[in-house]
C-alpha cells in the first residue's frame, strides 16, 4: 500500500497539510528529522488516517509510489538544501520535489535548475492560509518545472480552498514564479495589515474610541466592500479577553511587531526591478520602526507633537463622517497596495521572463490565503476586462470607486497629520495615487539639479525622448 505523496517536516504547517491530504484519502508518508515527532503524529492526530510514518529517509522514499511526489515543509533557507541533499541519493529521474515553505524565489530558481540536471522535477509552491488553511484548504501557488505539474495537479487542486467550485490553486509559471507570487502576496499582506492597524490607531488615539466601538466599526466594515479574512480576524481580536486580567487581550500585547523576511524581500525585489511599491515598503519600514519600542518611548518624551483641541467634542454626524472617511481611506489605500503588488508581478515578466496571468492570480487569492477578500473578485473582473491593464488603478470599476471615496481618503490623511497620529502607509498610498495621476511631476527640477552639479544631462519637453542635453549652469 504505497503512499501517493510524502511530506517532510512535521511542524504545524507540515502536519496540517499531511492531515489535509489524508483527509482527502491520499495515502501520505511522513518523515521528520526528529523521529519522535513522527511517532507522536501517527499515534496522535494522524491515528486512524491513511498516513505512513517513516523513521528514516530510506523508509520514506521506499514508501512512496513512483514517480515520487514529495512536499518539503521545512524552514526556508539552508534546511531546504540540506533536506534535498539527504533525499537525492534515494530518488530517481522523474521524481518530484515540491518546496511548500516561504522560500526566497531566487533560491528556488537555483534549486530548480540544479535538480533539472539530475532529472528531478522541482516545484516551488507558495502556500498561504496559515495553520487553519493548511488543514482545511490553503491557497496554492505552484511554479517551477512544468513537467512535474500533471502528476501533482489533481492532488494540489483537491486539497486547496475552493471558491464557487474553483480551486484556489493554478499553475503560476516557471522557475521561481510560485515563490515570487507568494512573496508578493506577503508584501500585500504586510500592507493590508499595516493599513488596518493605522485605522485602529487613528480611532484609538485621535478619535478616542473605546474598544467596543472599534470592534463594532471593524465588524461593520468586514460586512461591506472591504470584506475579507484580515478584517474578520481583526474584528474577532476585539472580542478576546486576557485570561489573567480579564482586560482585552489586545491591550496587553506589546506593540513590537515581528517579521520573518518575506515583506522585506518584496521591497528588495521592487527596488531591484525599479518598481515603485511605496505602500508595501512603508509597511515593512513601519514594522522596523515600531519594533524599537525604546526609541519610541524616548521620542514620546522628547519630541513635540500637534496640539489638538481637546475641548471640542464631535457631534454624532461628525463622528459618522470620520468613520466613513477612514473606511474610504482603507479601501483606497488597500487598492493602491494591490496595484503596487500587481505592478511588481508584472516586473517578473520583464526581469525573469515569467509571464503571469494576473486575473488567475486574483482567483488564487480569493480563498484560502491571508489576503483573501471580496475585493479580489473585482480585481479578477478588471483583468478580464483588460488582460493587459497597465495599472490596476486605471480600471474603470476602481476609478469609479476612488472617485466616490477620495474625499474621505484625503480628509483622513490630512486629519491624521494635523492630529499627529501617524498613518504612514495610508499617506504613502495617497501619495502614490496622486503621483501616478500627475502628468507633470516636479522631477524636471531633479534633472536640472543633477545636470547642474554633475553634468548628468537631461531630455527636453520640446524634443524627442532619447536626446540628451547639458547646460553650462555655472557661467
Ligand atoms: C500566509 C502567511 C504566512 C506567514 C508569513 C508572514 O500566507 O499564510 O503569509 O506565510 O504568516 O510568514 O510572516 P511574518 O509576518 O512573520 O513575516
Q: If you measure from the C-alpha of residue 188 to the centroid of ligand 1, how many angstroms do you get, rounded to a whole number?
A: 11
Cα distances (Å, whole numbers) of residue 284 to 254, 312, 432: 18, 36, 17
Strand partners, 28: 5, 51
Single residue among 136, 153, 175 that ends a domain in this structure: 175
CA–CA dist 200, 196 (Å, integer): 6
Count of residues in the chain: 475
- How many domains does one find in the chain? 3
Residue 309 pLDDT greater than 80, yes or no: no
Tell me, yes or no, whether 202 and 320 share the same domain: yes
**What percentage of the chain carries pLDDT values higher than 70?**
99
Among the candidates 175, 198, 222, a domain finishes at 175
Q: What is the pLDDT of residue 342?
A: 97
Pocket of ligand 1 contains residue 260 by CB under 6 Å? yes
Asked whether residue 111 carries a pLDDT value surpassing 70, the answer given is yes
pLDDT, mean of residues 21-39: 97
User: Does 464 share its domain with 362?
Assistant: no
Of all protein residues, the one whose alpha carbon is nearest to atom 16 of ligand 1 is 259
Which CATH number do you get for residue 9? Answer: 3.40.50.720
Q: Is the dihedral of CA 291, 292, 297, 299 positive or negative?
A: negative
Mutual angle of helices 424-436 and 278-291, in 10-degree steps: 160
Shared domain check, 409 and 269: yes
Q: How far is the CA of 414 from the centre of ligand 1 (A)?
A: 32
Q: What is the mean pLDDT of residues 13-41?
A: 97
**Does residue 308 register a pLDDT over 80?**
no
Same domain, yes or no, for 156 and 193? Answer: no
Q: Is the CB of 186 inside a 6 Å radius of any atom of ligand 1?
A: yes
Residue 245 has a pLDDT of 95
Lowest mean pLDDT among 172-176, 312-316, 434-438: 312-316
β-strand 69-72 against 51-54: which pairing, if any? Answer: unpaired
Residue 159 Cβ < 6 Å to ligand 1:
no
At 3 the three-state DSSP class reads strand
Q: Reply yes or no on whether the pLDDT at 173 is more than 80.
A: yes
**Do residues 362 and 470 both lie within one domain?**
no
Known active-site residue 189: yes
Structure pTM?
0.96
pLDDT given for residue 312 in this prediction: 76
The mean pLDDT of 438-445, rounded to a whole number, is 98
Q: Check whether residue 11 and residue 96 sit in a common domain.
A: yes
Which atom of ligand 1 lies closest to the CA of 130? 8
In this structure, what CATH number is given to the domain that contains residue 451? 1.20.5.320
Domain that holds residue 432: 182-436
Regarding whether 264 and 248 lie in a shared domain, the answer is yes
Q: What is the pLDDT of residues 222-234, one digit of tens each?
A: 999 999 999 999 9
Packing angle, helices 293-302 and 278-291, rounded to 10: 90
Residue 310 predicted with pLDDT over 80: no
Using 50, 70 and 90 to split pLDDT, how confident is the model at 475? confident
What pLDDT shows up at residue 306?
A: 87
Q: What local confidence, expressed as pLDDT, does residue 311 receive?
A: 65
Q: What is the CATH number of the domain that holds 262?
A: 1.10.1040.10
Residues 144 and 206 in one domain: no
pLDDT digits (tens, 9 = 90+) for 36-69: 999 999 999 999 999 999 999 999 999 999 999 9
> For 353-381, what is the mean pLDDT?
94
56 and 203 part of one domain: no
Q: Provide the pLDDT for residue 167.
A: 97
User: In terms of domains, do 348 and 456 share one?
Assistant: no
Q: Which of 154, 175, 196 is the last residue of a domain?
A: 175
On whether both 199 and 217 belong to a single domain, the answer is yes
Give 133 Cα–ligand 1 centroid separation in angstroms: 12
The reported pLDDT for the residue numbered 358 is 93
Catalytic site includes residue 182: yes
**For range 11-31, the mean pLDDT:** 98
Report the distance separating Cα 370 and Cα 133, nearest Å: 9
User: Do residue 470 and residue 417 come from a single domain?
Assistant: no
Grid cell 470592534 is found at 215
Average pLDDT over residues 249-259: 97
Q: Residue 313: what pLDDT?
A: 84
Amino acid at each position: 500500500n504505497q503512499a501517493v505523496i510524502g511530506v517532510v517536516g512535521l511542524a504545524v504547517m507540515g502536519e496540517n497539510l499531511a492531515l489535509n491530504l489524508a483527509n482527502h484519502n491520499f495515502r501520505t508518508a511522513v518523515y521528520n528529522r526528529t523521529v519522535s515527532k513522527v511517532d507522536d503524529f501517527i499515534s496522535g492526530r494522524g491515528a486512524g488516517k491513511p498516513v505512513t510514518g517513516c523513521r528514516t529517509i530510506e523508509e520514506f522514499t521506499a514508501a512512496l509510489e513512483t514517480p515520487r511526489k514529495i512536499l518539503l515543509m521545512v524552514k526556508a533557507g539552508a534546511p531546504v538544501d540540506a533536506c534535498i541533499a539527504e533525499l537525492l541519493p534515494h530518488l530517481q529521474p522523474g521524481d518530484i520535489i515540491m518546496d511548500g515553505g516561504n522560500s526566497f524565489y531566487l533560491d528556488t530558481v537555483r534549486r530548480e535548475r540544479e535538480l533539472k540536471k539530475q532529472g528531478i522535477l522541482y516545484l516551488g509552491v507558495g502556500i498561504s492560509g496559515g495553520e487553519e488553511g493548511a488543514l482545511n484548504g490553503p491557497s496554492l501557488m505552484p511554479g517551477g518545472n512544468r513537467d512535474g505539474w500533471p502528476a501533482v495537479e489533481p492532488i494540489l487542486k483537491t486539497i486547496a480552498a475552493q471558491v464557487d467550485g474553483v480551486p484556489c490553486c493554478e499553475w503560476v509559471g516557471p522557475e521561481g514564479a510560485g515563490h515570487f507570487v507568494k512573496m508578493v502576496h506577503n508584501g500585500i499582506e504586510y500592507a493590508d495589515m499595516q493599513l488596518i492597524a493605522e485605522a485602529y490607531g487613528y480611532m484609538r488615539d485621535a478619535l478616542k474610541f473605546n474598544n467596543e466601538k472599534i470592534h463594532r466599526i471593524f465588524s461593520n466594515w468586514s460586512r461591506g466592500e472591504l470584506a475579507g479574512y484580515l478584517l474578520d480576524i481583526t474584528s474577532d481580536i476585539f472580542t478576546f479577553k486576557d485570561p489573567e486580567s480579564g482586560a482585552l487581550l489586545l491591550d496587553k500585547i506589546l506593540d513590537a511587531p515581528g517579521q520573518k523576511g518575506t515583506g522585506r524581500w518584496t521591497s528588495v525585489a521592487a527596488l531591484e526591478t525599479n518598481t515603485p511599491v511605496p505602500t508595501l515598503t512603508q509597511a515593512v519600514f513601519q514594522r522596523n520602526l515600531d519594533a524599537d519600542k525604546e526609541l519610541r518611548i524616548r521620542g514620546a518624551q522628547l519630541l513635540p507633537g500637534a496640539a489638538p483641541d481637546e475641548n471640542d467634542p464631535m457631534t454624532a454626524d461628525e463622528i459618522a463622517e470620520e468613520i466613513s472617511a477612514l473606511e474610504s481611506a482603507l479601501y483606497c489605500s488597500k487598492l493602491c497596495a494591490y496595484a503596487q503588488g500587481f505592478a511588481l508581478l508584472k516586473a517578473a515578466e520583464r526581469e525573469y521572463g515569467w509571464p503571469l496571468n494576473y486575473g488567475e492570480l486574483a482567483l488564487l487569492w480569493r480563498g484560502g490565503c491571508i489576503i483573501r477578500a471580496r475585493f479580489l473578485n473585482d480585481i479578477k473582473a478588471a483583468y478580464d476586462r483588460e488582460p493587459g491593464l497597465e495599472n490596476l488603478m486605471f480600471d474603470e470599476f476602481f476609478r469609479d470607486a476612488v472617485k466616490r471615496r477620495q474625499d474621505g481618503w484625503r480628509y483622513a490623511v490630512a486629519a491624521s497629520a494635523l492630529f499627529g497620529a501617524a498613518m504612514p502607509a495610508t499617506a504613502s498610498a495617497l501619495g502614490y495615487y496622486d503621483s501616478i495621476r500627475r502628468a507633470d511631476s516636479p522631477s524636471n527640477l531633479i534633472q536640472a539639479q543633477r545636470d547642474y552639479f554633475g553634468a548628468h544631462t537631461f531630455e527636453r519637453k520640446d524634443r524627442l525622448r532619447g536626446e540628451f542635453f547639458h547646460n553650462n549652469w555655472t557661467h
